[in-house]
Chains A and B, each alone.
Chain A
């Protein structure tokens, strides 16, 4: 099986992907692919094989985008979590249902000091960045943007509503510039949104009814075809207006 640059292909473990006219030293491997030998790659997970060579980047990037069920934290990921407790200098935060919680240092906020720091309550929502995923130590989050030292949009999310989408869809919404559904929604509605790659989306609009509409559109849009999006959004808005 051969792939050309900037194309999408379904790969399954056992397939082999041969690289054409590519210098081994010039490639970067993303998640879910291994180098079998000098000219072939092997996918380790079923999914879409993506090879991209962005302009300016010196290397070609290869990875397999997969619809994994469970979110596994990686440093730098943006996540939405729920505070579920506090002990010592840490909040305990749930970013995956029914799994071990992760930690958020109570000082991991911009300009936090002993006296002046956000006091979060149990069950409050936060938007944070995964700051460390050392082996054999609990995963840690941070609400500070490491490049600026400012909040960078992180912190407690008040009001609104969180709901789950698949991890792959959350990544799609977050990383696709002008994701069609969001683009369409922006035209029609006003809302604030925070997308966590852990599959949680927080959304807030001016009323709880409008919030619910946004929630509906996004969670339903997972199952829509590209071509249907515009029409379906209009339909849902109409339905909500009649309620």
Chain B
């Protein structure tokens, strides 16, 4: 059984949070904050091309690339087509149900995962003040916060989390992969053209999620791009010209298969954000003072007493810097806890192909640039890994082919 569902119990949330905000910060998986899990890329079939399995810790993704000949879109006669299928099925976790995506228009206003709880609440209800409370106090003290008023809200609607928001998760995921690989022109579509306006290759990459332990996006992006690099399409030739032309396809035995023309290797790196401060503080940050002191400042909807109190508190507080905790390659558990995420897609040429941070915790621009730098290092590491695996496989297949050729020669000579 999976180790978590949407209901992360309060003790777990508190413990994880105090681990993350401790000194030094500790992740439940014992990794460094910016250290991804070990990436394992394997080639699923020793005979076929373009079937890749990627393991990122417990997250397990497979991708199969296939191609067939169709006619191109009318408005793009010189280009082949490329589609990516990313459907999340219950196969990877019972948290997901199948077929939700088919009807996302109705599913869109689905109830957001109710993972937001305030630590403040919990404490006040406890009789025996135990180490859990101590742990929260600890968080607060670290940040010189006033304990009474700092409702630490953990987990939020912006989680790339589980089932409750599956429709959103699926759409974002498929769009992310699409933007990362397709929109960034990783696959040269013009090279897929066979006869302009008539025949072209239609390449399809189908991603299957085999196990879910967080960070499906990164694993999927590696799987798709590796599969594209690995795939070989049969060689085709147009014989003759004009009306009487003929398209001949050669199979593997007749002619060497042709690799796809992949222009660069975009890889996604996802960051999750946590914060020990309240939403208010996160938004106002250092400007809190200046805003409150501003005479012209009229607060909209100021009929809420609580709100006023909080503002007072901000007034007393010293200006503070950013307190966001940023982790890379989160597990499912960490994703549930997260208050916001950002996916950055880069290639080894330090070109950003895509950034997407939709809502969630507000993060300082400096931290975002830091993230990109971290992502760049990870991308370099993973690109090397991909190339290593592919090179090893080419070597292996060459040996096999040489053996086959030799055996044919051998057969002939013994006749």
* A and B interact: yes
B12 touches A162 (CB 8 A): yes
Which B residues touch A209, using CB under 8 A?
Answer: 19, 22, 26
Q: Does B14 contact A (CB under 8 A)?
A: yes
B7 touches A82 (CB 8 A): yes
Q: Does B94 contact A (CB under 8 A)?
A: yes
Question: Could you tell me how many residues of chain B have their Cβ less than 8 Å away from some Cβ of chain A?
Answer: 35
Measured CA separation A204–B122 after assembly (Å): 17
Q: Does A135 contact B (CB under 8 A)?
A: no
Q: Does B9 contact A (CB under 8 A)?
A: yes
Q: Does A235 contact B (CB under 8 A)?
A: no
Given contacts A159-B131, A209-B19, A212-B26, contact A164 B3 (CB under 8 A): yes
Which B residues touch A98, using CB under 8 A?
Answer: 1-2, 5, 94-95
Most chain B CB within a 10 A radius of its CB, from A69, A94, A121, A161: A161
Measured CA separation A84–B7 after assembly (Å): 7
Question: Which residues in A have some Cβ–Cβ distance to B below 8 Å?
Answer: 69-70, 82, 84, 94, 96-98, 119, 121-125, 157-164, 199, 202, 204, 206-209, 211-212, 216, 239, 243
Which A residues touch B352, using CB under 8 A?
Answer: none
Of B8, B15, B125, the residue contacting A123 (CB under 8 A) is: B8
CB distance from A241 to the nearest CB of B (A): 13
Q: Does B128 contact A (CB under 8 A)?
A: yes
Task: Show 28 A/B contacts (Cβ-Cβ < 8 Å), sorted by A.
Answer: A96-B1, A97-B1, A97-B2, A97-B4, A97-B5, A97-B94, A98-B2, A98-B95, A121-B10, A123-B7, A125-B11, A158-B126, A158-B128, A159-B15, A159-B130, A159-B131, A161-B11, A163-B3, A164-B1, A204-B11, A204-B131, A207-B131, A209-B22, A211-B15, A212-B26, A243-B24, A243-B26, A243-B30
Most chain A CB within a 10 A radius of its CB, from B2, B3, B94: B3
Of B4, B8, B117, B132, the residue contacting A158 (CB under 8 A) is: B132
Given contacts A158-B132, A159-B131, A243-B30, contact A208 B7 (CB under 8 A): no
Measured CA separation A164–B30 after assembly (Å): 18
CB distance from B112 to the nearest CB of A (A): 16
Measured CA separation A159–B131 after assembly (Å): 6
Measured CA separation A158–B133 after assembly (Å): 9
A123 touches B10 (CB 8 A): yes
Q: Does B135 contact A (CB under 8 A)?
A: yes
Q: Does B99 contact A (CB under 8 A)?
A: no
Complex interface bits, B11-23 against A, C-beta within 8 A gives 1, otherwise 0 = 1111110110010
B12 touches A161 (CB 8 A): yes
Q: Does B28 contact A (CB under 8 A)?
A: yes
B28 touches A212 (CB 8 A): yes
CB distance from A153 to the nearest CB of B (A): 15
Which B residues touch A202, using CB under 8 A?
Answer: 11
Which B residues touch A163, using CB under 8 A?
Answer: 3
Which B residues touch A119, using CB under 8 A?
Answer: 125
